[in-house]
Structure 1
Amino acid sequence: MDMKISLSSRGLMTAINPPQEGDPPLQDQIKYGALYYIRHHLHPDLKSEYLMDENPHDLWNSLKERYEQQKAVILPDAQREWSNIRLQDFKSIGEYNHAVHKICSRLLFCDKAPTDAEKIEKTLSTMLPAHRVLQQQYRARNYQHYSELIHTLLQAEKHDELLLKNHHQRPTGTAPLPEVNSNVQNTKRFDSNKRRPKNFKGKNNHIKKQKFHRNNKGKSIFNNKDKSDICRKCGCYSHTTKKCHTPKHLVDLYLKSVGRSRPTQGKRFEAHFNLQSDTTRTTSCSQNVHPELNNDITLKEQEDLEGMDNMLVDFASNDLFGDFD
């Protein structure tokens, strides 16, 4: 076929056609021009075999007789491949279509090319059993050309691939959840369709400041702070010891973890209080001084309860306080 196309495009086809009665003899330019292009398409081994042939017509007939026998060799193999080809054996419609065209070209060389109806029936009858509904739909459309059916199958395959890509990109049930610390407010001061001014300072600005201060809490910024600023009660860097409002039980746990104990504080005395060892009752102060605690268990002497008799009051009488007399 390549030789025929090449010779016909250059007007040298008369060199390989059988001569007719009354035709003028071939010119040497046409004769050797056709011989040059025929030998150009031959294998190097064939060139050496037909080296002495100078007539293009005789060379063409010799090659034709030699390779016409290939039809008898190619036809059985091509028919076997056509009978065994299945659409379900291929991963894509494009691969199946390429294999069909390759087999049909070999059958066409042997003059046994299948028709469009046979190609359509071969395609629809070899689909997967799971696609039986699609098979019925394609049969109902009654395609007349094999190319129309392949175009429809390729289009459906591309849509399925796009659907699978979208599913794998975000499977079902993996929608992003809202943030834990998100704060949603419904304010009517501004319309949702209108854009707020750039210099607006409202609740959003206040919320951002609060978030900024909250993020500084805890021990996540240990390396960015000086150890002299640590709170002696809870160990935080966001406040000083005087401004610590941590609950007492958390303070005790922190001090226990670092190996320190909470200092015991008693009642505070006045600034000018002078503590003396005098045990007389004449000593005056704003608060009674408690004796020091010790582990000795001693019983107090029994107080004289005789003076308590005068304190008993007859509650049955009407004169509770004794002021009616």
Structure 2
Amino acid sequence: MANMENLQFPALDITGTNYISWVKNVELHLESLGLSDTVKENNTSTPQEKTKSVIFLRRHLDESIIYDYANMRDPKELWKSLKDRFDHQKDITLPLARDEWQSLRFQDFDKVMNYNSAVLGIVAKLRYCGETITESQMLEKTYTTFHKSHITLQQNYRLRGYTKFSELIVALLIAEKNNELLIMNYMTRPTGSKPFPEANALDTKKPVKENKTFRGRGRGGKTTVDVDECTIHKIGSHSSGSAQSNPLREKNTKEISPKSEKKLVSDAGTKGHWSRLCRTPAHLCALYKESVKRKEKEVNFAEHSEGTTHLDASDFVNDFEETAITEA
């Protein structure tokens, strides 16, 4: 394969399938280089111009084709030999291009740009083979191949009165981009849904808990603990009436686990234990107090019972003194 870095367009394939486009590209580039006369009959080109033209042609040939024409030094001879070998592509290309044009439909393409490329490629083949395709034919081909669900849309485009196929393609491309943006916005947040909050946003609607101090009437006060907020409040020891609600009873609504219930029982009757806060059943408190009373007895206390002998140290001391006096 020829060096792709030195190619201005694709090289001629050995099968000749791209011969039509290759010829057009060669004619344009030779004309830009001032070498277009080198491939014509009865030209008066200089040997230097002919050499440049041959080098350019061979550079844009497949490697397999280059070996077939390695001995040709005249660009006109090389050009004619390639035409005789591959020019029959018109007879092969024309029926294929006609079939492609007949089966071409706008509704078969998912993108407007793909449809535009297909139309221009088929039209180029037909025009090279001698078929004339006008702008009105290209417009009509597009209008009549819209999807059936877009009848109103194609009527609107038809009423606009486009005279060039390129103008219709531009309008379709703009509409396509707008529809993609509309669908993307809908999929991002469907109808009726709220936008997602930012990751670092603060919830300013969350209420802030405030500590309140309740004071009662009378002298002094009783200090109690708020179970929910662990704040200390002072409540008057003499209340004005029983109708006043007790904050401890209102806030202390949590269930007491077996472990905490055991702790409350063990603290019952001790200093600092709050009877109003304690929710231990009365019979458990009574049993605990009774067990405490039993523990108050002396640990080493032993009751006298029948069959037991009470020993005292004085008994042994007296016996020892009497024995000593007798021996003396």
Give TM-score, length-normalised by structure 2. 0.58
Q: Can you give the 5+ residue segments of structure 2 that lack an aligned partner in the other structure?
A: 1-23, 213-222, 237-245, 269-273, 277-328
Asked whether the equivalents of residues 233 and 251 of structure 1 are also in contact (C-alpha less than 8 Å), the reply is: no
CA distance in 2, matches of 1:89, 1:30: 49
Amino acid at match of 2:227: G
Q: What is the aligned partner in structure 2 of residue 61 from structure 1?
A: 80
Q: How many residues align?
A: 221
How far residue 247 of structure 1 moved from its aligned partner, in angstroms, is 4.4
Higher helix share: 2
CA distance in 2, matches of 1:12, 1:69: 25
CA distance in 2, matches of 1:176, 1:66: 67
Amino acid at match of 2:166: S
Asked whether the equivalents of residues 87 and 123 of structure 1 are also in contact (C-alpha less than 8 Å), the reply is: yes
Question: 3-state DSSP class of the match of 1:112?
Answer: coil
CA distance in 2, matches of 1:56, 1:182: 86
Amino acid at match of 1:36: I
Q: Deviations over 1:30-80 (max 9, x none)?
A: 232222222222221111111222222111111112121011112222222
Q: For residues 48 and 264 of structure 1, do their structure 2 counterparts lie closer, same or farther at Cα, with a shift above 3 Å needed?
A: closer
Q: What is the aligned partner in structure 2 of residue 220 from structure 1?
A: none
Q: Is residue 238 of structure 2 the alignment partner of residue 246 of structure 1?
A: no
CA distance in 2, matches of 1:28, 1:66: 26
Q: Is residue 7 of structure 2 the alignment partner of residue 15 of structure 1?
A: no
Q: Deviations over 1:223-278 (max 9, x none)?
A: xxxxxxxx98653344127569634265365446631368547xxxxxxxxxxxxx
Q: What is the aligned partner in structure 1 of residue 27 from structure 2?
A: 4
Q: Deviations over 1:266-324 (max 9, x none)?
A: xxxxxxxxxxxxxxxxxxxxxxxxxxxxxxxxxxxxxxxxxxxxxxxxxxxxxxxxxxx
How far residue 102 of structure 1 moved from its aligned partner, in angstroms, is 2.0
CA distance in 1, matches of 2:74, 2:189: 72
Asked whether the equivalents of residues 112 and 173 of structure 2 are also in contact (C-alpha less than 8 Å), the reply is: yes
Tell me the percent identity. Answer: 32
Q: Is residue 157 of structure 2 the alignment partner of residue 138 of structure 1?
A: yes
How far residue 9 of structure 1 moved from its aligned partner, in angstroms, is 2.5
Q: Deviations over 1:120-159 (max 9, x none)?
A: 1111111111111111112222221111111111111122
Q: Can you give the 5+ residue segments of structure 1 that lack an aligned partner in the other structure?
A: 184-210, 218-230, 266-325
Q: For residues 71 and 248 of structure 1, do their structure 2 counterparts lie closer, same or farther at Cα, with a shift above 3 Å needed?
A: same
Amino acid at match of 1:16: V
Question: 3-state DSSP class of the match of 1:137?
Answer: helix
Amino acid at match of 2:104: I
CA distance in 2, matches of 1:177, 1:157: 28
Q: What is the aligned partner in structure 2 of residue 205 from structure 1?
A: none
Q: What is the aligned partner in structure 1 of residue 173 from structure 2?
A: 154
Q: For residues 141 and 237 of structure 1, do their structure 2 counterparts lie closer, same or farther at Cα, with a shift above 3 Å needed?
A: closer
CA distance in 2, matches of 1:255, 1:234: 15
Q: For residues 242 and 83 of structure 1, do their structure 2 counterparts lie closer, same or farther at Cα, with a shift above 3 Å needed?
A: same
Q: What is the aligned partner in structure 2 of residue 103 from structure 1?
A: 122
Superposition pairs of residues 295-314 of structure 1, within 5 angstroms: none
Q: What is the aligned partner in structure 1 of residue 134 from structure 2?
A: 115
Asked whether the equivalents of residues 93 and 150 of structure 1 are also in contact (C-alpha less than 8 Å), the reply is: yes
Superposition pairs of residues 118-267 of structure 1, within 5 angstroms: 118-175=137-194, 182=205, 211-214=207-210, 235-240=227-232, 242=234, 246-248=247-249, 251=252, 253-255=254-256, 258-259=260-261, 260=264, 264=275
Q: Is residue 52 of structure 2 the alignment partner of residue 33 of structure 1?
A: yes
